[in-house]
Chains A and B, each alone.
Chain A
């Protein structure tokens, strides 16, 4: 995966979302990105990209959490449904290769955790 390009997309989206918040938050604590295992994103590379790309922006210093979604599939032959090894698209029950992927291609910004200071709220 292209962690730096993805990092740019994450930072752009985070900054857009932060601008929308009223009142503006005091601080951005963390950002969560959800990634399907089939996307093969390296969390370490993505965190590094995020760190570099947020320097001198309001998103600087926030922790980037990367949540990986395992690959799940449905067997079209026997109806089994569950998690599979991302490499092997084989039914864990009957061994058939006739699987429909249900999860594993996700790639989205899930949530922001922000801080507000109550003093400014009551002003």
Chain B
């Protein structure tokens, strides 16, 4: 009679392995060149591209910046940023809801890296998936507009927990909407107590200087 023996085999294999490998390859390459890469993550319409435009205008002459622009479709954002005279690459995911490390690595290799201090990646508009994928960045930055509601840090805790800073955008709208900023700040504190928060308006320019100074500090 045939007897059956059961056996348990320990494996311990990382399931984010391939992405992590590409991310660490990019991180090492950028490290050696002294370039820092930041990853902007926020909802569609949070104001990521506008924040980038205002940021780049203010960084010009102080830091040499390139942008990797992630979108599902269209090259509109890349065209907007291209007008600022910096290297911009459009990454079209064709339906993909986030950028992955391999895609970023290839795009980095196509940039004129030797002349750069900073690469800013604008991720696909989404508060969920981009937070889960390491792309080799130094810091994830969460971008949250005041029209999105105060509860977002609690609803998407991974992003706000992983982020090194939060930029709250469209603050010029505050007098016109029933938005309770202290509640949002309190919610942010509950998922990430130490996180620096920058309240900005790309329309009036309020708060942008503090954000720019912090950003410059990253590359110091």
Contacts and interface: CB of A to CB of B under 8 A. Distances in A.
Interface of A: 1-2, 6, 9-10, 13, 17, 21, 25-26, 29, 33, 38-40, 86-90, 96-99, 101, 107-119, 121
Given A110-B12, A112-B9, A118-B4, 13 more contacts: A6-B15, A9-B18, A26-B4, A87-B154, A89-B193, A98-B193, A99-B193, A109-B15, A110-B11, A111-B9, A113-B7, A113-B9, A117-B2
Interface of A is mostly: mixed
Contacts of A87: 154, 157, 190-191
A13 B15 contact: yes
Given A38-B161, A107-B16, A113 B8 contact: yes
Given A2-B129, A116-B5, A111 B189 contact: no
A77 B12 CA distance: 33
A91 B116 CA distance: 41
A107 B15 contact: yes
Nearest to B1: A119
B62 interface: no
Contacts of A26: 4
23 contacts: A9-B15, A9-B17, A17-B11, A38-B157, A40-B128, A86-B157, A87-B157, A89-B190, A89-B193, A90-B190, A96-B193, A97-B189, A97-B193, A97-B194, A98-B193, A108-B11, A111-B11, A113-B9, A114-B7, A114-B9, A115-B4, A115-B6, A117-B5
A111 B132 contact: no
Interface residues of B, number: 30
Given A2-B129, A39-B132, A109 B12 contact: yes
B169 interface: no
Contacts of A119: 2-3
Interface string B143-167: 0000000000010011001000000
A62 B85 CA distance: 56
Given A10-B15, A107-B16, A117 B8 contact: no
Nearest to A8: B15
A97 B192 contact: yes
B13 interface: yes
B154 to A, nearest CB: 6
A105 to B, nearest CB: 9
Contacts of B190: 87-90, 97
A107 B14 CA distance: 6
B176 interface: no
